[in-house]
Structure 1
């Protein structure tokens, strides 16, 4: 089973939030989510936690692509613009350092028009355990 299939089946929190991995290879990973009413905050825009969950799923796919169990140890999110109900969001994680112990990644979350919604950076810790 590849990482895309594994995470789409076992990351129940992301799945319940409507997030799904659509692409993964050694260079990048992509996750998608359509913003629904359940994602909206009190300001009637997509809640930041939903955006982070989408980005985090893409990060997990890229960091675990090689089959070595990797956990996130640090992430930072910068909100640039609002996502609204009906937007189809795409989170693309691109590796910036594929270190054997401490990999680093950056993610751009965009809407269906290519507008940047948020930017996320993350670091992980690779265990000596295969998935």
Structure 2
């Protein structure tokens, strides 16, 4: 089973928020979600936690795509614009450095028009253990 299938089947939190991995290769991973009413905050825009969950799923797919268990150890999110109900969001993660122990990733979350919604950076720690079976 590849990382796309594994995460789409076992990351229940991301799945329950409507996030799915749609692409993964050696250098990038893409997760998508459509903003609906459950994602909205009190200001009627997409809640930051929903945006972070989408980006985090793309980060997890990219950092774990070699089959070695990798956990996030540091992340930073910068909100640039609001996402609205009905927006289709795409989080594309790419390596900054694919270090054997401490990989570093950047993610751009854009809407259906290609407008940047937020930018996320993340670092992980590779445990030198295989991913757990499904």
TM-score of the superposed pair, with normalisation by structure 2? 0.97
Paired residues in the alignment total 131
Q: Deviations over 1:27-62 (max 9, x none)?
A: 100000000000000000000000000000000000
Moved over 6 A (4+): none
Gaps of 5+ in 1: none
* Distance in 2 separating the partners of 1:93 and 1:16: 21
Alignment of 1:79-118 (within 5 A): 79-118=79-118
Does 1:56 pair with 2:49? Answer: no
TM-score of the superposed pair, with normalisation by structure 1? 1.00
Gaps of 5+ in 2: none
Does 1:38 pair with 2:8? Answer: no
Q: Deviations over 1:104-124 (max 9, x none)?
A: 000000000000000000000
Q: CA deviation at 1:101?
A: 0.1
